[in-house]
Structure 1
Amino acid sequence: MADPGNKRIAGVDGCKAGWVVVSSDLRGQGPYQLQVFESFAVLLAHQPEFSTVAVDMPIGLPDHIGPRGRGSEQAARKHLGQRQSSVFTVPSRAAVYTDDYLEACSVARETSDPPKKVSKQCFYLFPKMREIDTVMTVALEERVFEVHPELAFWRLNGEAAMSLPKKIKSRPNGPVLDQRRDLLVSHGFDKTFLDQVPPKGVGRDDLLDAAANCLIASRIAAGKAEPFPNDYRRDGKGLRMAIWA
């Protein structure tokens, strides 16, 4: 039997290079490790296996979308105040599996009520959504959990939304990221680790988001995290649609 002391948990964020992972022991404490994986399938196959994976990417894609998106997105936004716009409305699975933006908008309108097109920001995430959707199964739900950095920071900040947006004019803002780094340091992260120059294809904001997700992974592993919403639904593949924090 594997030694529980050797198990590691992973906070994951999508990035230009693929997927950035900040991992730790089950308690969300060091030694911390920063890794980059080219695909989500490779990440899941990594040995030794990550026992809990908290990833910032939608899991569970409905066949039809209502007025405000998935219940998980609605539940998360309620806690985020001015930061709620960071939680995108994910379109239907059929829309996510399109490669052309205009086609995606057309399919999204046909599978939503009221008809709603896809934002460009969300469309650019489709390849990574498909990566997860392709490999995700109900059995994997024991290891893999959807999270969202803004809800993670809300939880870590005493259940208060962060006062400053992560990005200003679509670009990461230094002082804003410093605020988030300092919050992570207060939860046990080493400042030097968080201030390191990220690998190629990984932004500083990606690293900080993965670190926040790692702390949520530790809450999940300890049975302290909760799903938003509590009465989550499942999609056509049987996958739960819940954001954990």
Structure 2
Amino acid sequence: MPAWVAGVDGCPGGWIAAFQALDDPSRVVVRILPDLAAICDAPEAPAVVAVDIPIGLPEQVGAGGRAAEQLVRPLLGPRRGSVFPTSSRAVVYAADYTAAIALARQPGLQPFAPSPPANAIFPRIRAVDGLLRTRPALRERIYEVHPELAFASLNGGVPLAQAKRKAGGMAERRALLRRSGLPEAVVAGPPPRGAKPDDLLDALAALVVARGIARGCGVSYPDPPERDAHGLSAAIWTLLPHEAPP
């Protein structure tokens, strides 16, 4: 049975997962699954799962977020705004957005209020955090990634000029995914029902990083990763530009 890896992104229908067989790069399967546990427990049983979601929550955090975000943001030029600062654990676990803002205003936790887009993914962050705390064996399989960092790495370390939802931005990203060796039918094809085109591209970018990690070509920011109070790794992974496919 071949070893598989997976790239994962959140989408309206749940989580979009792109699986690839390491011994046969032409075998790529894309589907929607309800949660990260279902992806890890899928028939492919991916050895590495690269997911676009913060992992490793700080008890306290500064204005720029975790070290991971502070290190990655300067690498992304015009795309730096896509890297939200991760809130403290207490704020992420607040009962609702009003409570999260109130907590953020208390001294000692963080000097910023969570933005609406950041608040929208808090349920996903909590779900992944809970999964890794209750199933510690998965900590060696699940890695945090950021699609814009992945695409910059595939582009030789140069951030992409156009936003991902613009036609030109999608064309840039598809070209890089083709160069990485992903099948044309997957790169150019429609996303499965429940996902948007940019969700598919982000999952495929995460997949390329997962493949690189499995082959020993991944790098983390910071290196070595930080650890949160529960021992979870707090780092964003990507490929070194010279390790990206030609």
Answer yes or no: same fold by TM over 0.5.
yes
Alpha-carbon offset, residue 211 of structure 1: 0.5
**How many matched pairs?**
236
CA contact (8 A) 1:11 1:214 kept: yes
CA RMSD of aligned residues (A): 1.6
**Comparing 84-93 and 224-233, the one that deviates more:** 224-233
**Unmatched tracts of structure 1, length 5 or more:** 167-171
Matches within 5 A, 1:70-149: 70-110=66-106, 115-137=111-133, 138-149=136-147
Matches within 5 A, 1:225-236: 225-236=218-229
1:189 corresponds to:
182
Question: 2: distance between equivalents of 1:156 and 1:112?
Answer: 38
- Structure 2 SS opposite 1:32: strand
Give the counterpart letter for 2:154 in structure 1: L
**Comparing 25-34 and 125-134, the one that deviates more:** 25-34
Alpha-carbon offset, residue 126 of structure 1: 0.7
Give the counterpart letter for 2:172 in structure 1: Q
Question: 2: distance between equivalents of 1:231 and 1:213?
Answer: 20
1:49 corresponds to:
45
Give the counterpart letter for 2:33 in structure 1: F
Give yes or no for the alignment of 1:202 onto 2:198: no
Cα 1:226–1:98 shift into 2, 3 Å = same
Match of 2:168 among 169, 175, 178: 175
Cα 1:40–1:114 shift into 2, 3 Å = closer
Alpha-carbon offset, residue 129 of structure 1: 0.6
**Unmatched tracts of structure 2, length 5 or more:** 239-246
**Comparing 17-26 and 138-147, the one that deviates more:** 138-147
Alpha-carbon offset, residue 108 of structure 1: 2.4
Give yes or no for the alignment of 1:38 onto 2:29: no
**Comparing 124-133 and 186-195, the one that deviates more:** 186-195
Question: 2: distance between equivalents of 1:84 and 1:28?
Answer: 34
Give yes or no for the alignment of 1:14 onto 2:26: no
Runs of 4+ deviating beyond 4 Å: 111-114
Question: 1: distance between equivalents of 2:99 and 2:55?
Answer: 22
